[in-house]
Structure 1
Amino acid sequence: MAAMDWMARLREARKTGVVQEGKRKIHCMFSDGAEMVEEYEVCSDQLQVRKWKQKTALGSPGQWVFEVGEARSGAVDTLEQQQIQESVSSPIFTRKDTKTCFQWRIRNLPYPKKVFSVTVDPGQRCCIVRTSNKKYFKRFTIPDMDRCQLPLDSSALSFTHANNTLIITYQKPSAILQLEQEVMEELKKLKMTEEGDVECKTQ
């Protein structure tokens, strides 16, 4: 769907919002039964979390899937905590954007930077991470780009490596920056329930 289609879908969604713990939390219910929750820093309007829940083939509610951010440690049950502890050294893939970039972090990758290769596959509309020592391989998409039907540009992609973490950055194109501004303007029209005081420090 193009950017205008996504904006139309967002406008038509049933939305509720609350300001809590310095975050603007928005819940969207779409006509197809999908749910989306976003959390923004109140002071900066920076997106912290975006997660989706889709109905299963049988019509029952599915599990929350994080597109941006990750589940808080207290938000998993005992069994999940045990599973996380058992695989504590496994690579952990998360997305945390900035105002101008999509950004992903892959923790627990102790190899030197020269081992890594990060490329764009325009045909498959995805980014690919691989290592020359064949220890790690991952393919991932950029849902924001897919929703707007924008082509992926290899020149927008870069990466660095520090503290056993691979940091991948993709510069947001102007169409995405404009869309995000329009989305924020739309969300700020929503009547919010306020919980506690929000204090923004002046820059």
Structure 2
Amino acid sequence: MSDWFAQLKKAKKSCIVDGKLKRVHFDFGDGREMVEEYNLDTNVVTRRAWRHNKELKGEDKWEVEIGDPEPVYNKEETVLIRENSNQPFVSRRITRTNLEWRIRNLPYPIETYSVTAEPDSKNLVVRTANKKYFKKLPIPDLDRLNLLPEQENISFSHKFNTLIITYKKPKALVDLEKAVLQEINEIQPKNQDMMNCKPS
């Protein structure tokens, strides 16, 4: 189907089930690890995070691709450290039919915003007419399939100081996700120990 799907099939996979979530760990054998969390009711990915092992002392941090960013703690005081709470920040979601970005702390009315597909950089670009905000949004889901973003698939809305950008999934991505879901559904949890799953 694609080089990306071939990598997923080849990766060493394991999983755990925790309530309504299925966590699947992919080890690609080249220092890359990916963890996806699937909602068992919807079969939609609710979280995807990456770690790139660098053979240095200490644990490498997970980079969140889908879902809310990891909280940052002060190691000595175990106190959550936040940037200015008024600064805009981006989180990503996936639904059955769409890719979604939520940019919080954007108070301007909806007519202020433009969201454009830029095939040359493979990004979506968010701009405000008042020049107060500019952001490039990568789309790794499309990039893995060598697909370019198309303007006709973009829509957006604004409420509660949050800009919600929706990108309709192309058929190739929908088909890929179905194939990946079928692949991970073959990793069955052991009944005697719900916290371990049979590696594939």
Q: How far is 1:8 from its partner? A: 1.0
Aligned position for 1:199: none
Aligned residue identity for 2:140: P
SS at match of 1:77: strand
* Alpha-carbon distance in structure 2 between the residues aligned to 1:126 and 1:71: 20
Instruction: Tell whether the 8 Å contact from 2:64 to 2:70 is kept in structure 1 after alignment.
Output: no
Higher relative contact order (CA 8 A, sep 6+): 1
1:66-90 per-residue CA deviation (whole Å, 9 max, x = no partner) reads: 11002465xx423685431x51111
Instruction: Tell whether the 8 Å contact from 2:27 to 2:33 is kept in structure 1 after alignment.
Output: yes
Compute the TM-score of the two structures, normalised by the length of structure 2. Answer: 0.88
* Alpha-carbon distance in structure 1 between the residues aligned to 2:129 and 2:153: 22
Aligned position for 1:164: 161
Aligned residue identity for 1:36: M
* Alpha-carbon distance in structure 1 between the residues aligned to 2:80 and 2:60: 22
CA spacing shift, 1:148–1:81, aligned 2, 3 Å: farther
Aligned residues: 189
Aligned position for 1:201: none
* Alpha-carbon distance in structure 2 between the residues aligned to 1:82 and 1:174: 41
* Alpha-carbon distance in structure 1 between the residues aligned to 2:79 and 2:151: 37
Q: Does 1:181 align with 2:160?
A: no
Aligned position for 1:135: 132
Compute the TM-score of the two structures, normalised by the length of structure 1. Answer: 0.87
Aligned position for 1:48: 46
Instruction: Tell whether the 8 Å contact from 2:73 to 2:81 is kept in structure 1 after alignment.
Output: no
Q: Which has the higher strand share?
A: 2
Q: How far is 1:4 from its partner? A: 1.7
Instruction: Tell whether the 8 Å contact from 1:16 to 1:192 is kept in structure 2 after alignment.
Output: no
Q: How far is 1:132 from its partner? A: 1.0
Task: Using the aligned pairs only, state the percent identity.
Answer: 39
Residue of 57, 60, 73 corresponding to 1:77 = 73
* Alpha-carbon distance in structure 1 between the residues aligned to 2:80 and 2:39: 31
Q: Which has the higher helix share?
A: 1
The list of structure 1 runs, each at least 4 consecutive aligned residues, that deviate by more than 4 angstroms after superposition, is 79-82
Q: Unaligned regions of 5+ residues in structure 1, if any?
A: 197-203
SS at match of 1:96: strand
Aligned position for 2:22: 24
Aligned position for 2:198: none
